[in-house]
Amino acid sequence: MQWKLGYPTQIDKIAAGQYIVQTDANVATFLYDVHGGSIQVVKRDAVRQLR
């Protein structure tokens, strides 16, 4: 199953560089770690770098 970022519908900052993002492509809410302008999915089995 390929995971898609989709369009963010809700973004909440919970810590410095950490955000909870919900998208229209995924019902579940995912935790993101933002480093240097890139977004990494940290609440997944396979961590993907999104550019």
Structure confidence by residue, pLDDT tens digits, 1-51: 444 566 666 777 777 666 666 666 655 555 555 555 555 555 544 344 444
How confident is the model at residue 46, as a pLDDT? 38
Enclosing H/E stretch for 39: strand 38-41
Q: Is 11 left (phi over 0), alpha (psi -120 to 50) or beta?
A: beta
pTM of the model: 0.31
Q: What is residue 1's predicted lDDT score, i.e. its pLDDT?
A: 41
Residue 47, pLDDT score: 40
